[in-house]
Structure 1
Amino acid sequence: MKKYVLIFSIVISMLFISVIPVFGEEKSTDNSDGNLSLAPNAKSAILIERDTGKLLFDKNANEKLPPASMTKVMTLLLIMEALDQGNLKYDEIIRVSERAASMGGSQVFLEAGEEMSVEDLLKGVAIASGNDASVALAERIAGSEDAFVTKMNDKVKELNLKNTKFQNSTGLPAEDHYSTAYDMAIIAKELLKYETITEYTSIYEDYLRKGEKNEFWLVNTNKLVKFYPGVDGLKTGFTNEAKYCLTATAKKNDMRVIAVVMGAETTKERNATVSQMLDYAFNQFDTKKLFEKDQIITNLQLLKAENKNIDIVASQSISVIHGKGESTENINTEVHLNKEIDLPLKRGDQVGKLIVKNGEEVLSETPLTVEQNIEKASYFTLFKRSLQKLVKSR
């Protein structure tokens, strides 16, 4: 009898043990690899490769949550766009408004009427998550923070993001201010097209007003830039409602990934989760670089342009991602230029796309752009070309 009781007890124990993992699994939305243990302590998370946008892992990635100071990823994107377009200069001096100086939360303690360069204000945002620096730059770019927020939400629409809405440039608590892990990853992907941003987000410590009486020590809120090799950005976040959040990026060899974690209970859990996600990416995948950002892909002759020989460049770096040890022999690329191109063109305007394929399977499509402004040809230039064509035809 004791023998049967013992066997029965062992069987019941085995059944109980086998059931535990099933109930303990974290549910994930569209988790491409089925690895459900990467972010057990976060409300939502996502891991993507930057160049291709390939989803490597996600957990509740489309759940709307408060992004806290990760909002500044969008703020930084609009700042970098303004710098790239020449509407803002690094050495330009900005006078700080009373409103900007009055911002609470994380700040670099700007004073109303103080003057500071765009570059130093950018450091205040990128390193120390300064709400005051964010508003000062927002007011300079758009005239007011409200107008800047309109630009932020216009960019959300341009990126075709469905679950993000901003009410301020800082991430301070506000009603109807939300985003998702997926949307934050896409905004970060867009920001990283401006590769110089990591020259600021990777700084661990620096100073504002160095050598002056009111010198301020900047320390990066993202400790992984110091403690995880390859991490060079991007933005942390915390409020009582949002808990601990982080949009991080790291590069190893030619591979750059973006990891987003939202709603972790502690900084330790947040950083450990992001580290685990990055480990997974770099241990399981490799990338093959095809083209660098701004690399010339092809040339185009536009007879109605002032300078008819036009260089067409990659709008961002282009890669393919594959599992460790997988072959990339069947990778090929195709250039498709627009049939009709209207002049004038501004630097960065799209004139085609580069398609990357694995055999016949389309892996990615990347915009091809012009690297400089293209003006319409003057009447004199058109007349001269007509004469040259006439002479050649004789």
Structure 2
Amino acid sequence: MKRFSTIFLAVLMLAANLPSAFAMDENAGLSLSCASSILMEKETGTVLYDQDSHAKLEPASVTKIMTLLLVMEAVDSGRLSMDDVVTVSAYAAGMGGSQVYLKEGEQMTVSEMIKCVTVVSGNDCAVALAEHLAGSETAFVAKMNQRAKELGMQDTNFVNCTGLPARGHVTSAYDIALMSRELTLNHPSIRQYTTIWMDSIRGGTFGLTNTNRLVRFYPGTTGLKTGSTDSALYCMSATAERDGMELIAVIMKAPTTAQRFDDAKTLLDYGFANYALVNVYPDAPLSPVDVLLGVVPQVQPQLQRDCRLLVNKADANQVSTRLSMAQNLEAPVEQGQTLGQLDVYVGDELRDSIPIISAQQVDRLTVPDIFARMLHQLLMSK
């Protein structure tokens, strides 16, 4: 058993050093108009296409992905409720750019304000939410930058929560993909807002139409956020899902709004055409493992986690598994104890190793238990 554990740990260390993303197709030959872009698969975080993705550029209103992330984290942690009422300050009401023309003292629920931020990029609502959560936009921006560091966003410095032009307010396509992934992966309820095409507020008197045209015109679109200023030009983080795989396409500094959407569609089309997420299972159901000196003779093994493998579609039929299990397993066995592993290969390349664990605890027989069992077997043999 000790020898098996040593081998297993060695294989785990090898697997931990495997690249989290396989090599990208450097010759994809995509024709894009933007200055910087990236395509990322959401579940694994694998980068599928990269065009100068660490260039530090102005993000315009794509900034609000971080604003929405902090708001959704507060909602999902219980610190904030969708039904909470936000009272608008004079400062929030005075925001320029995209807005829903909030008035000082006007009240609106958190849910309605999130809708305004996601659908029409309301700067006034973004600031009102920031003030409600942190007391001031300045304090909220400090939280934005702290969260950016936690996510590994090394190219980013936020100066405001809206993306309005400000000296030193920069990020990168890669960092935008990171915060987009965090928002969509861990706060999926944001999709009920980011997929709205048309809606209204104030009892139907003020109409909203999504700035993200892909919501209406690109099948599978799930969001996420557009942005544009004279200096940032046209930016967006576009998310879409097909066949159980969601992609994040980030476009920075496209020359026109039409080219921004065309670039995003080009990236998404490329991803969906060439990659797939494959569910991986053992070739056969896992058989019970014999346990020496256990109060029960066998223990049922199970996979520690599911395996979903991102593969190039051309390699989908090359996925295979190899199973290794402990021999001469002796009680006691703890629930969750490692019993083996399932290695997943694409061709000859090891792509994942999944621990196989005990589904239950098995206690060791005591000396009286052993004598009682022997006596029972003796009586049954007569």
For 1:164 and 1:290, how far apart are their aligned partners in 2? 37
- Aligned-pair distance for 1:179? 0.4
User: Per-residue displacement from partner, 1:348-376 (whole Å, max 9, x unpaired)?
Assistant: xxxxxxx99634845599xxxxxxxxxxx
Identity among equivalent positions (%) equals: 45
The runs of 5 or more residues in structure 1 that have no matched partner are 1-29, 292-312, 335-354, 366-394
* Equivalent residue number for residue 295 of structure 1: none
1:320 to 309, 317, 322: 309
Decide whether the 8 Å contact of 1:38 with 1:273 is kept in 2: no
Residues 1:137 and 2:129 are matched in the alignment: yes
Residues 1:49 and 2:37 are matched in the alignment: no
* Equivalent residue number for residue 341 of structure 1: none
Decide whether the 8 Å contact of 1:52 with 1:318 is kept in 2: no
* Equivalent residue number for residue 254 of structure 2: 264
- Aligned-pair distance for 1:286? 1.0
Q: How does 1:214-253 map to 2 (within 5 A)?
A: 215-253=205-243
User: Per-residue displacement from partner, 1:266-290 (whole Å, max 9, x unpaired)?
Assistant: 1111111111111111111111247
* Equivalent residue number for residue 160 of structure 2: 168
Task: Name the TM-score, length of structure 1 as normaliser.
Answer: 0.69
* Residues 244/318 of structure 1: CA separation in 2 closer, same or farther (3 Å cut): farther
Residues 1:207 and 2:196 are matched in the alignment: no
* Equivalent residue number for residue 94 of structure 1: 86
* Equivalent residue number for residue 185 of structure 1: 177
- Aligned-pair distance for 1:320? 1.7
Residue 120 of structure 2 aligns to a residue whose secondary structure is coil
User: Per-residue displacement from partner, 1:197-255 (whole Å, max 9, x unpaired)?
Assistant: 111001011001124xxx21111000000000001200001011110001000000111
| One-letter code aligned to 1:271 | F
Residue 170 of structure 1 aligns to a residue whose secondary structure is coil
- Aligned-pair distance for 1:318? 6.7
Residue 256 of structure 1 aligns to a residue whose secondary structure is strand
Name which structure has the greater RCO, CA cutoff 8 Å, separation 6+.
2
* Residues 258/147 of structure 1: CA separation in 2 closer, same or farther (3 Å cut): same
| One-letter code aligned to 1:208 | I
* Residues 51/35 of structure 1: CA separation in 2 closer, same or farther (3 Å cut): same
Decide whether the 8 Å contact of 2:280 with 2:309 is kept in 1: yes
* Equivalent residue number for residue 38 of structure 1: 30
| One-letter code aligned to 1:286 | A
Residues 1:156 and 2:148 are matched in the alignment: yes
Q: How many aligned positions are there?
A: 292
What do you get for the CA RMSD once the two structures are aligned? 2.7
For 1:184 and 1:363, how far apart are their aligned partners in 2? 27
For 1:280 and 1:204, how far apart are their aligned partners in 2? 25
Decide whether the 8 Å contact of 2:101 with 2:124 is kept in 1: yes
For 2:150 and 2:110, how far apart are their aligned partners in 1? 26
Decide whether the 8 Å contact of 2:39 with 2:48 is kept in 1: yes
The runs of 5 or more residues in structure 2 that have no matched partner are 1-21, 282-303, 325-340, 355-382
Decide whether the 8 Å contact of 2:344 with 2:353 is kept in 1: no
Decide whether the 8 Å contact of 1:51 with 1:318 is kept in 2: no
Residue 250 of structure 2 aligns to a residue whose secondary structure is strand
For 1:44 and 1:333, how far apart are their aligned partners in 2? 43
- Aligned-pair distance for 1:331? 5.5
Decide whether the 8 Å contact of 1:52 with 1:364 is kept in 2: no
- Aligned-pair distance for 1:319? 2.9
- Aligned-pair distance for 1:330? 3.2
* Equivalent residue number for residue 301 of structure 2: none
- Aligned-pair distance for 1:324? 1.3
